[in-house]
């Protein structure tokens, strides 16, 4: 999508990623319609935009049709952490699948480009490492994570079928573990969990022995990838992995957080949840080639920024 002022719809805009994306769009001169049902989104993430002449908030659930006029759509609506998406798995699937149908229908009617925030969870517990976009995944279709994993996989199917059948301009990004300010403190994801536990002086909960790996991408880097993908030529559809390829064990992450926060938090092991992936690392060759994109914020710096955010948040509460 070429530069210039546009009216942009961001679904899930009151969430962690959505609110940061809206900030970037506002900064570059766009008008933004933020849509969120606040199931996991938090209005405090967008309070700083209240009264801004180029920002509008609408409380709406994307599993119901939406009739608005916009120039582009970023579809980020969906609970993204296991604690949240397993709370109402049927609604999670509806948000991914019915929500995608509704947003694709809107994009088709308006003839505008649409971006889908997909996920590395489409790869499941991968048998290929690192994961390339050509890998079809190893996903349990009936497990407790399936509402999210299969919902996102089906959403990708819908996006590409709308592209083939209706010539819709689509952009699909597969997000790998992302962290940074505005993460939900109780979303169950490892970075926020470890930081909050350490700041409170509590023991750090590790599931399994901590040898499972993840690759952590700082939110600023991820959003540069989003905007770069949306601004590519129409024939560039994705899916494109957006993540930091530096791989760490969960134990290494926990030890780094304890070291940075200080205190005497101990690492305590709990049973590994069902279908928890043992490895997660993106191959970002495609993003480098097509988008000229590379992550810039290393884990050490990103953790410092995120710890500072949560420290201030806990002090205010």
Residue pLDDT tens, the chain, 317 long:
545 579 999 999 999 999 999 999 999 999 999 999 998 889 999 999 999 999 999 999 999 999 999 999 999 998 876 777 788 899 999 999 999 999 999 999 999 999 999 999 999 999 999 999 999 999 999 999 998 899 999 999 999 999 999 999 999 999 999 999 999 887 778 899 999 999 999 999 898 888 988 999 999 999 999 999 999 999 999 999 999 999 999 999 999 999 999 878 899 888 877 767 788 899 999 999 999 999 999 999 999 999 999 999 998 87
Q: Residue 294: what pLDDT?
A: 96
Q: Which of 133, 111, 88, 81 is nearest to 276 (CA)?
A: 81
Burial 241-251 (b: 16+ CB within 10 A, else e): bbbbbebbebb
> Distance between CA atoms of 12 and 57, rounded to whole angstroms?
11
pLDDT value, residue 200: 93
User: So what's the pLDDT on residue 4?
Assistant: 57
Going by C-alpha positions, the residue among 138, 125, 261 that lies closest to residue 201 is 261
Tell me the CB-side half-sphere exposure of residue 122, using CA atoms within 13 A.
27
Positions marked active-site: 148
φ/ψ of 98, rounded to 5, equals -65, -40
**CA–CA gap between residue 273 and residue 277 (Å, rounded):** 9
Instruction: Check residue 278 and give its pLDDT.
Output: 82
Domains of the chain by range and CATH?
A: 7-179+217-244+281-296 (3.40.50.720)
Please state, in angstroms and rounded to a whole number, the distance separating the CA atoms of residues 295 and 244: 6
Give the pLDDT confidence score for residue 209 in this predicted structure: 87
- Say how far apart CA 146 and CA 223 lie, in whole Å: 26
As a whole number of angstroms, the distance between CA 310 and CA 308 comes to 6
d(CA 218, CA 222): 7
């Amino acid at each position: 999508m070429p530069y210039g002022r546009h009216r942009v719809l961001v679904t899930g805009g009151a969430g962690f990623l959505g609110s940061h994306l809206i900030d970037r769009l506002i900064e570059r001169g766009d008008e933004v319609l933020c849509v969120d049902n606040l199931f996991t989104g938090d209005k405090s993430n967008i309070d700083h935009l209240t009264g801004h002449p180029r920002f509008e908030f609408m409380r709406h659930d994307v599993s119901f049709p939406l009739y608005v006029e916009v120039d582009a759509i970023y579809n980020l609506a969906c609970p993204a952490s296991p604690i949240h998406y397993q709370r109402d798995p049927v609604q999670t699937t509806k948000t991914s699948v019915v929500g995608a149908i509704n947003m694709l229908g809107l994009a088709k009617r308006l003839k505008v480009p649409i971006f889908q925030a997909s996920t590395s969870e489409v790869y499941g517990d991968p048998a290929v490492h690192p994961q390339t976009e050509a890998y079809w995944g190893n996903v349990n279709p009936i497990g407790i994570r399936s509402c999210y994993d299969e919902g996102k996989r089906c959403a990708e199917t819908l996006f590409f079928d709308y592209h083939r059948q209706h010539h819709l301009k689509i952009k699909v990004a597969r997000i790998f573990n992302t962290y940074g300010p505005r993460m939900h403190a109780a979303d169950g994801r490892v970075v926020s969990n470890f930081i909050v536990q350490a700041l409170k002086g509590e023991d750090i909960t590790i599931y399994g022995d901590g040898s499972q790996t993840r690759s952590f991408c700082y939110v600023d880097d991820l959003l540069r990838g989003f905007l770069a993908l949306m601004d590519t030529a129409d024939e560039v559809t994705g899916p494109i992995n957006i993540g930091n390829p530096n791989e760490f064990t969960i134990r290494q992450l926990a030890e780094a957080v304890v070291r940075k926060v200080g205190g005497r938090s101990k690492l305590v092991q709990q049973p590994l949840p069902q279908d928890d992936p043992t490895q997660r690392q993106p191959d970002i060759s495609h993003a480098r080639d097509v988008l000229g994109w590379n992550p810039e914020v290393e884990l050490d710096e990103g953790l410092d920024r995120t710890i500072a955010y949560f420290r201030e948040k806990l002090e205010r509460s």
